[in-house]
Amino acid sequence: MFVAVIGAAGCDEEVAALAREVGRQIARRGAILVCGGRGGVMEAACQGAKAEGGLTVGILPGIDRREANPYVDVAIVTGMGEARNAIIARTADVVIAIHGGYGTLSEIGLALKMGKPVVGLHTWELRRDGQPVAAIIPADTPVQAVELAMSRARGEPG
């Protein structure tokens, strides 16, 4: 199973700790972590996954594998800038959004458009015509986020 972890390229230690634990939980369950391959949430999640012996894939915006964080096992260069977000969303069976900025929001939108489940951990909330849209599955902890993600990727009802 491929689990994308999305979030900002820069984050504080509190958000990084959440991402590291998400990465650990993904690896413990034998899933492959997919991300944008750079810093912040992406690096912390990869670090957590590597600490548990997991496999990490970074889908990079540029053309140089060296831009990947040191915890990426497989660095895929795209030369596509932020357009690489579509590749991340398409590659994933499920997406976990942690905090994040507008790039994260674009990945959430793409994943939802592609029919991929999106679990949110302290991230965006969506509204349409002023009314909440329950498209992002909320989680309160890293363990809950990964459990929800894995069950939704297997098609289990929520």
Position 103 in a domain: yes
Position 145 in a domain: yes
The crossing angle, in degrees rounded to 10, of helices 142-153 and 13-28 is 40
Model's pTM, two decimal places? 0.97
Mean predicted confidence (pLDDT) in 122-132: 95
> What CATH number has the domain bearing residue 78?
3.40.50.450
Rg over CA atoms, the chain? 14
Position 158 in a domain: no
| 158, pLDDT greater than 80 | no
**53-71 pLDDT per residue, tens:** 999 999 999 999 999 999 9
pLDDT at 157: 78
Using pLDDT thresholds of 50, 70 and 90, give the confidence band for residue 19. very high
Give the chain's domain count: 1
Percentage of the chain with pLDDT > 70? Answer: 99
**Integer angstrom CA distances of residue 149 from 2, 144, 154:** 10, 8, 9
Position 147 in a domain: yes
Position 157 in a domain: no
**67-112 pLDDT per residue, tens:** 999 999 999 999 999 999 999 999 999 999 999 999 999 999 999 9
Cα–Cα distance measured from residue 121 to residue 140, given in angstroms and rounded to the nearest whole number: 6
Percentage of the chain with pLDDT > 90? Answer: 97
156: helix, strand or coil: coil
Q: By residue range, what is the domain housing residue 115? A: 2-152
